[in-house]
């Protein structure tokens, strides 16, 4: 399982910047001889800070998903994307 894969990594918070209703928290995961920088982009909504993007080693998850979705829509149309999403949800709900 995932718990067994844990090998003494630790997360260090390097800092946070807040500008209005947006914030960015910079962290680093320290694991042996590898440090992995991770930034959390957040938005204040309803009195709670919500993460809307995670940037790992300068790769934005939002941009990555957006690019993947755009490729699917170009090849299969919006119906193809929705079908894939429905299939993915069904697999997740079944597990």
37 close to 26: Cβ distance less than 8 angstroms: yes
End-to-end CA distance of the chain: 15
CA–CA distance, 21 with 49 (Å, rounded to integer): 9
69 close to 88: Cβ distance less than 8 angstroms: no
CATH number (3.40.50.300, 3.40.50.720, 2.40.50.100, 3.10.450.630) of 1-57 reads: 3.10.450.630
Length of the chain: 95
Domain range list for the chain: 1-57, 60-95
Model confidence pLDDT, tens digit, residues 8-53: 789 999 999 999 999 999 999 998 888 999 999 999 999 999 999 9
- Kind and range of the H or E element at 50? strand 48-56
Question: Which pTM was predicted?
Answer: 0.71
């Amino acid at each position: 399982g995932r718990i067994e894969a844990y090998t003494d990594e630790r997360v260090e918070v390097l800092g946070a910047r807040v500008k209005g209703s947006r914030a960015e928290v910079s962290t680093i995961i320290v694991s042996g001889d590898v440090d992995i920088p991770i930034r959390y982009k957040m938005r204040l909504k309803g009195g709670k800070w919500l993460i809307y993007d995670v940037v790992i080693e300068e790769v934005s998850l939002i941009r990555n998903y957006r690019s993947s979705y755009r490729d699917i829509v170009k090849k299969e149309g919006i119906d193809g994307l929705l079908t894939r999403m429905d299939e993915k949800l069904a697999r997740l709900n079944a597990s």
